[in-house]
Amino acid sequence: MCGIAGLLSANIDLRERLPLIENMSQSLKMRGPDGKGAFIKPYAALIHRRLSVIDPEKGKQPMQFGKYTIVYNGEIYNTEELRNELKALGYEFKTHCDTEVILKAYHKWKEKACRKLNGIFAFAVWDDEEKELFLCRDRIGVKPLYYSEKDGLFAFASRIKTLLLVPEITSEVDQEGLNEIFMLGPAKTIGTAVFKDINELPPASYMVYSKEKHVIREYWKLEATEHKESEKETIEHTRYLVKDAIERQLVSDVPLCTFLSGGLDSSIISRVASDYYKANGSTLNTYSVDYIDNDKYFKSSLFQPNKDSDFIDMISDYIGSSHHNIMLDNKEVAKVLIESTYARTLPGFTDVDSSLLLFCKEVKKKHTVALSGECADEIFGGYPWYHNKDILFEETFPWSRSTDVRKSILKDGLLLNGEEYVHHRYIETVNKTSYLDTDSKTEKRMREMFRLNLDWFMQTLLVRKDVMSMESSLEVRVPFCDYRIVEYAYNMPWSIKSLDGREKGVLRKAFEDVLPYEITWRKKSPYPKTHNPVYFKEVCKMVDAVLSDTSTPLCEMLDLDEIKKLMENPDALSAPWYGQLMRGPQVLAYIVQIYYWIKDNDVKFI
């Protein structure tokens, strides 16, 4: 994994902007601490920072072939198939890395090469003869890519922070951005980046940019097709796709491990990985995360019915992994809310972000690559909102069903048409859904739920995982995001997907013979968050400091009486802010993150 960036200008000699180019490179250092490179011409500059994973000696970037130069961030999991296909067409290769494969695939097939790639990626190819830039992002949106066009200058980067270094790009936030932060956050609309001058290249899209044109096209989308396999065949097919995706993602020239929570998804990944390692005469390392004294304060809930710690040792012993449990200090989790905001360049997932950042930093001490179980819940129906008939057909985002709790902390008049903005984004997403004429009412709604989860909840988790891991210089792969699994699950009948009336029923059936019964049929449990009151006390101290600082406009935006009520009684929150992971303490932490986001980026509200 790496960090990429670039500048194009027909009016400015970019050789005169060398300090800016170096600063942009430096801002990507954590994404790529192992090396850096730049391609600089008067009219174009491409920047690369490298985290070496495959072929450390020969995979340096920017990489050139003929008139093309590439900078690339990601991993391609069908590299060998593509390499062999290109060799049969007469291409020769000097490296073992996937960068060279993408570059020569683009040379051969141009934009059609996107459809041939199975992986997580964001890359840019510069055509030095046509003076044309090609940008592309993976189908699911695992790897980030942002861009801006301002005052005759075009810029792109893996981080929003990198783009804000460009003098022409401002840190202004308008009403749309405010709605994104307060009405939708920590989620955001695909294609936006909250800042007025910055956009996101959407997943499954490519851009062609030159002085004469600027076009964005979608190269892949979910299409409804008839599912013709039997229940037994579907179980077998699911097992094959998941196992194949995991094994493809175990390729690495540097130490690799897995995250293991004791839940179904991470246990499947760790079991497959452990078998792979044993076959090669080695032992898999697994990692879990928890908080000091968390067991002491744990309370069962609909969203988190039992503790991960009850199951982690069971599955680790079962698969024979070398397990490491990282125990986080609650005061440190609060403190790192600031660093995680800096890394994201937006207010984010509060302690869900900061704890992951601390966890990844610990894992990085011994490993460079990890596999994680994100996104199985979104595509296999793992969340409670898929199964609660009382909310299934509500015309709203199921993880944030009411805007009342959001409006309650804001002063009247701050947001124009906040509820309408949220509903518009909901309808906009649902309208992208592909159906079959034969779909029942339930099947149609399940497709809509799939689309909503893919474009919103899943994107939020993927941004979190990418930013916090790469801020730690750790590459985290997510096998359940293999587009083949996503396509297959989208067209799977709900009756099979929810076999035995269980969330992720088909996935449980597919792997029930290789996992302990207690793990296979364990109730869904989310990423662990702290229940220790020490964390809440620390956050309240931070909120007090925020509310006493009038140097930002934040206090003018908030209803301070409501904030103080929440500090006195965090359980009084009438509804979750964002699903099971953001309740009273997290709403207060979100306010802290908004404050530091404004301060760090000198945000101007317009």
Compute the CA torsion angle 459, 461, 463, 468 (nearest 10 deg). 180
Amino acid identity for residue 474 in this structure: L
Cis peptide before 144 (omega within 30 of 0): no
CA proximity to 104, closest of 122, 85, 118, 77:
85
- What b/e sequence results for 43-68 when a residue is b if at least 16 CB atoms lie within 10 Å of its CB, and e otherwise? bbbbbbbbbbbbeeeebbbbbeeeeb
Q: Are strands 132-137 and 322-328 parallel, antiparallel or unpaired?
A: unpaired
Would you list the DSSP string of 38-106?
EEE-SSEEEEEEE---S-TTT--SSEEETTEEEEEEEEETTHHHHHHHHHHTT---S-SSHHHHHHHHH
Instruction: Give the Cα-Cα-Cα angle 115, 118, 123 (nearest 5 degrees).
Output: 75
Sign of CA dihedral 447, 450, 455, 457: positive
Segment holding 536, helix H or strand E: helix 533-547
CA distance 21 to 165: 9
| C-alpha count within 13 angstroms, C-beta hemisphere, residue 344 | 34
CA distance 513 to 28: 44
Contact assessment for residue 30 and residue 60, using Cβ atoms and an 8 Å cutoff: no
CA distance 409 to 401: 17
Query: Which residues belong to the active site?
Result: 2
Angstrom distances, CA of residue 605 to CA of 71, 172, 173: 34, 6, 5
Beta bridge partners, 475, equal 369
CA proximity to 245, closest of 458, 79, 481, 1:
481
